[in-house]
A and B are shown apart, each in its own frame.
Chain A
């Protein structure tokens, strides 16, 4: 039998039909929807007189547009309120499970999927959001789709897609202290660029990947799309099963044992061939930060912004445009640059481990007076954990406040906008022009680097401030 990759195994077992001279009809196990990319899809169904084909396989939550303060009140912005209410109405009409803003189960769509155990190995998972790649951390094929495709899934539980190529990125060795999954991702994208993964689905492998917690794996897979790849995945192992066990929607009892046995086979065959392979040494990765206007423009935090010398004409033009927007100069040191905002949150870094890391770092220190810090948990569950674990007191003691769950300033659709010209060290996924608000300037980094910036008010190497006390509390980074 032909050797298969993990991706092949899952994809091939979900092909309903291969259209001649065209794409595959791919069956979708799990569909997640939110308020922004679904209304036109529901409208399309209505215009065609169709019902949702498998409503029990779709789960909904409003996240992109929601306020992160006073969620118990009606949403003030009329257009946002309308979108959220429309999602609620559409779900009620079609019998789709909807996690209301006020409910316990509310949160960012890619945070609540894994939290509830909706995300499982071997599944195909789609959502009208590019960061659906997050769910690949469980050994699932998960990717973002457009609204037309949301309508396809609602209408037929299937979509039409050509099969992507396969890429493997192997990272062996031990990560240095202060280096997180976020840094691995920014490191990879800085190497292969924002288009290096295009046309591919990535499998992450190697000892450094294996050593990541489940939440770290989610951060890494989340950022796969920023390299242009459709998604990223990691073969499930004990870390995966330990994380999943007992969650609401995972199999229970004997069914659980059987499922785990089946999931253990989800790995690439040893002689499977990938279309593209990259390999890096974990020891070469340091805490990363971006200086430009796409996630590929990242460097180790102690490095300087590239200079034009030796660059091709088009690369030079791209860098010039980015640095003009950022008001940085070629050759600048990133360390020591004054910043105005810190944002902790999003589907990239809005999980409990991110808050534990940030909190452990700022414990006993004080927020710099020049910094506005927005700390936005990824879900109600994360918010609850922050309170139960006593992190909130530590954060408040250090001068921080906690907001309520949502996508918030990651894409600034709600009121959480970084003001024009201001610099934000942000744990999110995109530093595009205006992404966090018109004219806002984003420096992407890990929760640790964000915490360091929040304390000093400047771009700071988190390792410089990691004292013995931090190392003792470092155990809080372990998965629950």
Chain B
């Protein structure tokens, strides 16, 4: 799936200090009926973000005008539950390019990277200080550098390195996906099938 090439993102961040945010909260099942990958951002965090009558819930961070930016910061075990890739699509479609947490669920993490959304794992302490920084100054900026594999809290000057494998890093930097790679491998795959039949 085509997405923007990823390099450096410097931006304020939106805090979501909740643990175990499951993909049913990110995008409830009733919004999975589309047959194209469009418009999921509208329903991102639908039931936490809107009242039943469709009016925004004022206490939800996405509805708070003081928070903005391309970085979502969430509590540990983000993206648990359903494998729905719509969760990654919704976060990307809303305008985020990075999700920071101290722990991600496996399927969500894969889905995010496959869609140009960078999951950044930081230590619980670093995460705590990011939340503190945003609370003091919602306009505080953070810098994600994919090449260096670092996330910097520009207010405190602290930097943490994050892990990403070399192959996925290459894909993200160049806007490539696995399908291009696998389709080029069809002869090898066919040979594997023959050897194992």
Q: Are A432 and B81 in contact (CB under 8 A)?
A: yes
- Bound together, the chains give a CA A427 to CA B195 distance in angstroms of 43
Question: Is the CB of B183 closer than 8 A to any CB of chain A?
Answer: yes
Question: Is the CB of A336 closer than 8 A to any CB of chain B?
Answer: no
Least distance between A326 CB and chain B CB atoms (Å)? 15
Q: Are A430 and B81 in contact (CB under 8 A)?
A: yes
Q: Are B47 and A147 in contact (CB under 8 A)?
A: no
- Bound together, the chains give a CA A149 to CA B182 distance in angstroms of 11
Q: Are A145 and B32 in contact (CB under 8 A)?
A: no
Question: Is the CB of A129 closer than 8 A to any CB of chain B?
Answer: yes
* Closest 5 pairs (CB-CB, A-B): A22-B167, A21-B166, A146-B85, A79-B33, A156-B182
Known: A53-B186, A228-B77. A198 touches B35 (CB 8 A): no
Which chain B residues lie closer than 8 Å to A157 at the CB level?
A: 189, 193
Question: Is the CB of A27 closer than 8 A to any CB of chain B?
Answer: yes
Least distance between B89 CB and chain A CB atoms (Å)? 8
Least distance between B40 CB and chain A CB atoms (Å)? 11
- Chain A 398-439 near chain B by CB (<8 Å), digits 1 or 0: 000000000000011100000010000000001011110010
Across the interface, name the chain B residue whose C-beta is closest to A44: B1
The residue that A160 contacts in the complex, of B20, B32, B181, with Cβ under 8 A, is B181
Chain B CB within 10 Å — which of A147, A151, A412 has the most? Answer: A147
Q: Are A17 and B34 in contact (CB under 8 A)?
A: no
Q: Are A145 and B107 in contact (CB under 8 A)?
A: yes
Q: Are B24 and A432 in contact (CB under 8 A)?
A: yes
Which chain A residues lie closer than 8 Å to B185 at the CB level?
A: 16-17, 25, 156, 158
Known: A27-B193, A159-B178. A433 touches B188 (CB 8 A): no
- Bound together, the chains give a CA A149 to CA B88 distance in angstroms of 13
Least distance between A344 CB and chain B CB atoms (Å)? 20
* Chain B residues numbered 16-53 whose CB sits less than 8 Å from any CB in chain A: 18-20, 22, 24-25, 28-30, 32-37, 47, 52
Known interface pairs A25-B182, A44-B1, A148-B177; 5 further A-B residue pairs with C-beta atoms within 8 A, sorted by A's residue number: A19-B167, A36-B33, A145-B107, A199-B106, A412-B30
Interface-lining segment among B4-12, B108-116, B134-142, B150-158 = B108-116
Instruction: List chain B positions with a Cβ less than 8 A from chain A.
Output: 1, 18-20, 22, 24-25, 28-30, 32-37, 47, 52, 75-77, 80-86, 88, 103, 105-107, 110-111, 114-115, 165-168, 177-179, 181-183, 185-186, 188-189, 192-193, 196
Which chain B residues lie closer than 8 Å to A433 at the CB level?
A: 24-25, 47
- Bound together, the chains give a CA A225 to CA B82 distance in angstroms of 9
- Bound together, the chains give a CA A145 to CA B108 distance in angstroms of 9
- Bound together, the chains give a CA A13 to CA B136 distance in angstroms of 53
Chain B CB within 10 Å — which of A37, A157, A228, A420 has the most? Answer: A228
Q: Are B84 and A43 in contact (CB under 8 A)?
A: no
The residue that A195 contacts in the complex, of B28, B29, B76, B193, with Cβ under 8 A, is B76
Q: Are A434 and B88 in contact (CB under 8 A)?
A: no
Q: Are B178 and A152 in contact (CB under 8 A)?
A: yes
Which chain A residues lie closer than 8 Å to B107 at the CB level?
A: 130, 144-146, 230
Known: A128-B83, A130-B82. A430 touches B111 (CB 8 A): no
Across the interface, name the chain B residue whose C-beta is closest to A197: B106
Q: Are B24 and A83 in contact (CB under 8 A)?
A: no
Which chain A residues lie closer than 8 Å to B37 at the CB level?
A: 40, 43
- Chain A 251-270 near chain B by CB (<8 Å), digits 1 or 0: 00000000000000000000
Question: Is the CB of A365 closer than 8 A to any CB of chain B?
Answer: no
Q: Are B85 and A434 in contact (CB under 8 A)?
A: no
- Bound together, the chains give a CA A340 to CA B48 distance in angstroms of 24
Least distance between A70 CB and chain B CB atoms (Å)? 19
Number of interface residues of A (CB under 8 A): 70
Question: Is the CB of A74 closer than 8 A to any CB of chain B?
Answer: no
* Chain A residues numbered 140-186 whose CB sits less than 8 Å from any CB in chain B: 144-149, 151-152, 155-162, 164
Q: Are A413 and B105 in contact (CB under 8 A)?
A: no
Across the interface, name the chain A residue whose C-beta is closest to B113: A148
- Chain A 225-247 near chain B by CB (<8 Å), digits 1 or 0: 11010100000000000000000
- Bound together, the chains give a CA A411 to CA B27 distance in angstroms of 12
Q: Are B192 and A129 in contact (CB under 8 A)?
A: no
Q: Are B30 and A413 in contact (CB under 8 A)?
A: yes
- Bound together, the chains give a CA A147 to CA B177 distance in angstroms of 13
Q: Are A432 and B25 in contact (CB under 8 A)?
A: yes
- Bound together, the chains give a CA A433 to CA B107 distance in angstroms of 20
The residue that A438 contacts in the complex, of B1, B47, B183, with Cβ under 8 A, is B47
Least distance between B100 CB and chain A CB atoms (Å)? 16
Least distance between B80 CB and chain A CB atoms (Å)? 6
Q: Are B80 and A195 in contact (CB under 8 A)?
A: yes
Which chain A residues lie closer than 8 Å to B33 at the CB level?
A: 36, 65, 77, 79-80, 82-83, 413
Which chain A residues lie closer than 8 Å to B193 at the CB level?
A: 27, 157
Across the interface, name the chain B residue whose C-beta is closest to A429: B81
Which chain B residues lie closer than 8 Å to A17 at the CB level?
A: 185, 188
Least distance between B14 CB and chain A CB atoms (Å)? 19
A selection of 19 A-B contacts at a CB cut-off of 8 Å is: A21-B165, A23-B167, A27-B192, A44-B1, A77-B33, A146-B85, A146-B114, A148-B85, A148-B179, A149-B110, A155-B182, A156-B179, A156-B183, A157-B193, A194-B77, A195-B20, A228-B106, A434-B47, A438-B30
Q: Are B83 and A39 in contact (CB under 8 A)?
A: no
Which chain A residues lie closer than 8 Å to B85 at the CB level?
A: 37, 40, 128, 146-148
Known: A146-B85, A146-B107, A430-B24. A22 touches B165 (CB 8 A): yes
Q: Are B24 and A434 in contact (CB under 8 A)?
A: yes
Which chain B residues lie closer than 8 Å to A384 at the CB level?
A: none
Question: Is the CB of A307 closer than 8 A to any CB of chain B?
Answer: no
Across the interface, name the chain B residue whose C-beta is closest to A87: B35
Question: Is the CB of A311 closer than 8 A to any CB of chain B?
Answer: no
- Bound together, the chains give a CA A39 to CA B86 distance in angstroms of 12
- Bound together, the chains give a CA A253 to CA B53 distance in angstroms of 62
Q: Are A195 and B77 in contact (CB under 8 A)?
A: yes
- Bound together, the chains give a CA A147 to CA B27 distance in angstroms of 15
